[in-house]
Amino acid sequence: MPGLVVVGAQWGDEGKGKVVHWLASQAHLVVRFQGGNNAGHTVVCGGKQFALHTVPSGILADKALSLLGNGVIVNPRALREEVEGLERQGVRVRGRLGISPLCHVILPTHLLLDGRREDAGQGIGTTRKGIGPCYEDKVARCGVRVCDYLDPPLFRELAKSHLRLHAPELARLMPLARARRELFRDYEALRAFLAPFIADASVLVEAALERGRRVLFEGAQGAMLDVDFGTYPFVTSSNSCAGGACVGAGVGPTRIGAVLGVAKAYTTRVGLGPFPTEIEGRVGRFIREKGGEYGTTTGRPRRIGWLDLVQLKAAARINGFSRLALMKLDTLSGIHPLRVCTAYRLRGRRVEGWPCSRRDAFDVEPVYESFQGFSGDLSGARRFSDLPEGARDYVRFVERSLGLEAAVVSVGKDREQTVLRRPGGAAGFWR
């Protein structure tokens, strides 16, 4: 049975955690394939709210084994805090989470470097979690992998090289002797914590697929934060599109059978960068508060915008979406009129594709189509016919525009507050 990839279709924070949690009830393996603890998935399950950062959302499903593929970068201290927090909430993690030994390690000095660049005006509004500096070291072939971190003599040698390489920047923050102490703080305890989790994710994924098991690949961030295809340079440092699942989990492309794109019924983004449909004023504030649009990782208020079909068409192309999950439709209830961007205008001419130029991405003006909107409480809807007519019209317009079925329509935070439009339940998404 081929694998199923779930990825964000916008700038992240689309509601992937809820979708993955729901699908994981029928999965045997859930594999995260890129990013670090800059990601934030909020999942409501059984009346409890769980904030996940590195651990896959599938950990909340009772039967699925969760894996961190080699494309993920791991902060040992942050991961330990997250695991302990989940266990305090009654979630069994140990024995159900595996970490590839090929994952790169986010060192304390990576966080220092990330913060310094942001404070010096050289940043892009990152989460300051050390993600960029860690991926930089990986690409420069001087990073520390989990398997290296677990080898004390080797780690000591790599730490020396790391400090020499970054000494010019680190010395502006603190004496290098202190930076070295930070690098080794709690090292033995963190090494002991990580060791039991080690598992070869690539081998486990291949074995599961050979046995006809359902494998779910979980992405972090979203298509427009992809380092190649996103709003560069205001992007993350990894490939957050569906193709990243192959490299980040160690699986061949012939093993991927379907891709589910997750998009909000409107648009949000965090941090700096172009955002053509951004809404200022009362309507934007209303959506932010009603939708709880604050970052899971940072708590920062998210920027709010109308749904952008130009952006979504670009995301569908680079990811090869099989179908769509349309989230937070309930948040738009009571807003009249609703607007959807169907094209851009750039210096007097109509543009229907996402611009590559960073200058053009800031300069485009959205061309909107308006809808009457809809009212009422959508949270009890379980069938498409339960939704108000205006909500159904809105969903159908998105489907026609993208040429994709909105197979999932979310009408609330809880997993059960979902309108499913495909037969076969969660298992049907692997077919």
Note whether 235 and 226 are within 8 A (CB).
Answer: yes
Is 41 considered catalytic here?
yes
Number of separate helices (H) and strands (E) present in the chain:
14, 19
What secondary structure letter does DSSP report for 254? G
- C-alpha to C-alpha distance for 143 and 51, rounded to whole angstroms: 28
- C-alpha to C-alpha distance for 245 and 218, rounded to whole angstroms: 8
Note whether 341 and 310 are within 8 A (CB).
Answer: yes
- C-alpha to C-alpha distance for 431 and 426, rounded to whole angstroms: 10
The single residue of 13, 114, 308, 330 carrying the catalytic annotation is 13
Helices (H), 16-124: 16-24, 76-88, 108-119
Closest CA to 241 of 143, 145, 138, 314: 314
Environment class of 281 (CB within 10 Å of its CB; exposed 0-12, middle 13-18, buried 19+): exposed
CB atoms within 10 A of CB 213: 17
Note whether 146 and 103 are within 8 A (CB).
Answer: yes
- C-alpha to C-alpha distance for 341 and 121, rounded to whole angstroms: 32
Q: What distance separates the 2 farthest-apart alpha carbons in the chain?
A: 66
Note whether 43 and 24 are within 8 A (CB).
Answer: no
The single residue of 28, 41, 53, 166 carrying the catalytic annotation is 41
CA dihedral 90, 94, 95, 98 (to 10 degrees): 120
CA 200 to chain centre: 22
What secondary structure letter does DSSP report for 279? -
**Active-site amino acid positions:** 13, 41
